[in-house]
Structure 1
């Protein structure tokens, strides 16, 4: 059985190198990459971790998800510090900004500014936005206020509880409208909706939004076509390789 010294000093580094080379090869072959990132503080240690995960679809339409980094971020969490950390992570994997389709992040102002300064498209996490809706949607009646009027056998009613529920529903709806009002005019969401055969253009609330979505889709197709032509021209300019003897 290998010793602990061999496993730590040779076995794990060799495995890390092998996996890294394989991941880097797949990343290089990918035409477009999406990223998810999060910055969180540990509850058991005084440290903050910046996580970066890559997602892409290969030529056989297989989805890949790989955690590229989980690195400590020291000092204050300024947008500049976050930007520098992300750019360093991408450089280590030879990922150009042009290859990044979109970054999914939280809704913090420092995160928004970091990717805006990088010139990379980014979107707020849906789950995080929904959590903000619930927080913003108060005041809400307590679980005690809801259950107490019902009695042991579920009988009885309470006008104050009904009023509280109506208030909760109204404030939640207002929060949803405020937080997700941009979604229908966001090109990334609208294009994804159009190309999804389940939805297409059936659920846009106005003809103007529908037209904006179609224009965004046309732009995406044009960009893809330019990239395809550029790749074909580069391949044509490369000299043919000599076959080994």
Structure 2
């Protein structure tokens, strides 16, 4: 059963001659059960065991705030649609837990009412009280937004999805770039549809002393796949030039277009780096405001590589500003950022800083009715390292994240001049030196939770939220392997069991 679930095999695999011969060779006396036994009995047992374990760790910290991701997926080989729900939370020891709760079949139309009803059923099934729901990360679809609003669950859009929309706007804003990308697609498509052409291309690569590599085909709905396609074209520019002198190509890139590709890659490199950063399992809502601030500042700077891509760069900046215009005003982002010692309130303007402090004070009063304790003197040894020392130890070698160091240096003097009637505990925390950007904020709070006992529960809640719904996206990538051509009659309940197992 583990072999079937882990390797995405159909239940009929146990009836295939090769598997039966292998089992017979390993253990001649063993009689392998029928496919019906695995689909009706063994799968249910495995699913129940996994669900029991998930439920136990979910309720091990009954007061922990839980953040969720959700998305809808429709199979390409059947009429099945599924709604996902993954959860993550930070326990009392500031360890991050991530689990898949459900991937339930959606029957009927995907209306807001139907989605809202399904969400409520999921929470009831797992015994999760509404008070424990911190936030739900979802896509930008209107039915999803309305469904979560209707049942009064706080939700945020997936940052990766929004970034995708912004980059698409930029790429489609300049005719010369659109034509260049189309030409690149024709070249890559020629090789993808002609094994003979690829064979000749590999021979040329060997003659030039280059490793045998294929060109990347892009997917129109994924901007970063277009980035990787252009990267592969630049990498194979010499080999493509040699190929074009001996063989026919459906299109060729001009000198101007080759230069345009290089400038487009330079322009989009920070977006690609940021997409990877926010798609990691450790990325949280605290990364949103700093990431957008760094991105906007980088796009506002003039560079030598702006030649030929000026319109695209201006459109990208406008799209980022418009699509992320409300992030500084969203309390979930505000508090997550200020409770992350890598950032604190260094990324807020002076006008917004007072609002951030007020939000922190309000959240602190909600969390506890008792006055915050004085920070312990002996806990000062756990204070974060000097930002310049941390930066020197693990300095990021990227154009985008080098802006982080600029912002910290700029804001230090202003930060010392600010004064407000904050509680001793909050003031003490805000005076802590930032830790390095590559450090883990949860590690800091694990060490300092006793030093800031009133702020620690807030950090557990707000740092539990991811900034994307990537967990659900990864789940549906797996679902595409579970419900494939060999299992196009798989029922929704069995698909969920296989995914959770």
Q: Same fold (TM over 0.5)?
A: yes
Give the CA deviation at 1:224.
Answer: 2.6
User: Between Structure 1 and Structure 2, which shows a larger proportion of helix residues?
Assistant: 2
2:168 to 129, 135, 145: 135
What residue number does 2:351 align with? 208
**In structure 1, what is the Cα distance between the partners aligned to 2:91 and 2:52?**
17
1:225 to 345, 348, 368: 368
Mapping 1:16-35, distance limit 5 Å = 16-30=47-61, 31-35=64-68
Residues 52 and 153 (structure 1), Cα distance of their counterparts in 2 relative to 1, 3 Å cut:
closer
Give the CA deviation at 1:164.
Answer: 5.3
**In structure 1, what is the Cα distance between the partners aligned to 2:311 and 2:166?**
14
Residues 65 and 217 (structure 1), Cα distance of their counterparts in 2 relative to 1, 3 Å cut:
same
Residues 54 and 203 (structure 1), Cα distance of their counterparts in 2 relative to 1, 3 Å cut:
same
- Aligned residue pairs total 219
Give the CA deviation at 1:9.
Answer: 4.1
**CA radius of gyration, larger in:** 2
**In structure 2, what is the Cα distance between the partners aligned to 1:105 and 1:184?**
19
Aligned-pair RMSD on alpha carbons?
2.6
What residue number does 1:114 align with? 147
Query: Which stretch shifts more, 139-148 or 70-79?
Result: 139-148
Secondary structure (helix, strand or coil) at the match of 1:90 reads helix
Q: Runs of 4+ in structure 1 displaced over 6 angstroms?
A: 151-154
Is the CA contact (8 Å cut-off) linking 1:185 and 1:213 kept in structure 2? no
Gaps of 5+ in 2: 1-29, 185-229, 231-252, 261-305, 370-452, 454-501
2:282 is aligned with 1:149 = no
TM, length-normalised to structure 2: 0.41
1:192 to 327, 330, 336: 336
Gaps of 5+ in 1: 155-161, 229-245
2:38 is aligned with 1:14 = no
Query: Which stretch shifts more, 27-36 or 142-151?
Result: 142-151
Query: Which stretch shifts more, 144-153 or 11-20?
Result: 144-153
Secondary structure (helix, strand or coil) at the match of 2:118 reads helix
Secondary structure (helix, strand or coil) at the match of 1:169 reads helix
Give the CA deviation at 1:8.
Answer: 4.1
Secondary structure (helix, strand or coil) at the match of 2:347 reads coil
Give the CA deviation at 1:81.
Answer: 0.8
User: Between Structure 1 and Structure 2, which shows a larger proportion of strand residues?
Assistant: 1
